[in-house]
Amino acid sequence: MIKVVKNIIDMQKISLEHKLKGDKIAVVPTMGFLHEGHLSLIRKAREFTESVVTTLFVNPSQFGPNEDYNRYPRNFERDLDLCNQAGSKYLFNPEVLDMYPKGFNTSIKISGVTDKFEGEFRPGHFDGVATVVAKLFNSTLPDYAVFGQKDYQQTLLIKKLTKDLNFPIEIVIAPTIREIDGLAMSSRNTYLDIEIRKKAGVLFYALNEARKIISEGETNRLRINTSLHKALRTIPEIKIDYAASALADTLDEPESFFPGDSVVILIAAYLGKTRLIDNEIVKIPYKLNEENFIIT
């Protein structure tokens, strides 16, 4: 049966006891209101160890002043039950005032991969993420930490945080889990009203349109982006923050991509009042001549 841990020091003690026994720890940081995407992360963590810690903390410092911190969906009992079923041994659920006591004054800033896209539209967001993830790492002391690819830029941030600050942790990125129409699972999908929800598959449709023209040989970045915008605009209720392609490792945006490049297609858009993000990674194909030799 899953154990709920509220206190940071208690959590550290539990992790240290496991370590002393030679157990590995895997952590799955979440903001709760769990869906199949989160559960897939917990199951992935279970591939590494039985000592899985799911963290549930709606982190105020990663929300902007006009964002949805207060109305972010919460359901502790349901989360606990789902966590337990998915095989998490602990649910670490600290209080905001324990994480950010009076006089809290520390911020971690990671430049580069956070500058564009989400970083541009959500100023301060990634500082909040980096800082809370460092705190969650130190609270749970994991050997593995599992994050979902859906928050693609966040995965780059966390790999960088871990590398730059030398956390002795292996970062594992698990694939995005989607609804039948391709909508990436997200706790925020509950914000979508029925009529808008029916159209929310458009993000995945646009990602696939980009994937299609890339597979057909398109390498020009702006033409790929244009196909994304065109696909998204088939829905009148959409307001695009960005729909772009970039090198997957660096988020650099060259004029054209080259065969073998891993390219991430990134979308952030409002559907009605709800902001959704999604991404896919696409490999730029090698060109083959008539006898299927790679042309270099």
Q: Which residues bind its own copies (CB under 8 A)?
A: 8, 12, 16, 19-20, 22, 103-113, 130-131, 134-135, 138-139, 141, 160-161, 164-168
Least distance (Å) between residue 78 CB and its own copies: 27
Least distance (Å) between residue 168 CB and its own copies: 5
With a CB cutoff of 8 Å and minimum separation 6, the contacts of 73 are 32, 33, 187, 188, 190
Nearer to its own copies, 106 or 289 (CB): 106
Q: Which of 42, 47, 21 is nearest to 88 (CA)?
A: 42
Strand partners, 282: 263
Nearer to its own copies, 106 or 296 (CB): 106
Q: How far apart are alpha carbons 282 and 208 in whole angstroms? A: 10
Active site residue 38: yes
Least distance (Å) between residue 83 CB and its own copies: 22
Nearer to its own copies, 97 or 194 (CB): 97
Nearer to its own copies, 11 or 82 (CB): 11
Catalytic residue among 18, 35, 38, 229: 38
- The string of DSSP letters for 172-212 reads EEEPPPB-TTSPBP-GGGGGS-HHHHTTTTHHHHHHHHHHH
Q: Which of 19, 142, 159 is nearest to 88 (CA)?
A: 142
Helices (H), 35-101: 36-46, 76-86, 96-99
With a CB cutoff of 8 Å and minimum separation 6, the contacts of 26 are 45, 46, 48, 49, 51, 52, 53, 142, 143, 144, 145, 146, 172
Nearer to its own copies, 36 or 95 (CB): 95
Least distance (Å) between residue 19 CB and its own copies: 7
By three-state DSSP, how is residue 13 classified?
A: helix
Least distance (Å) between residue 174 CB and its own copies: 24
- Torsion angle of C-alpha atoms 56, 61, 64, 69, degrees rounded to 10: 30
Catalytic residues: 38
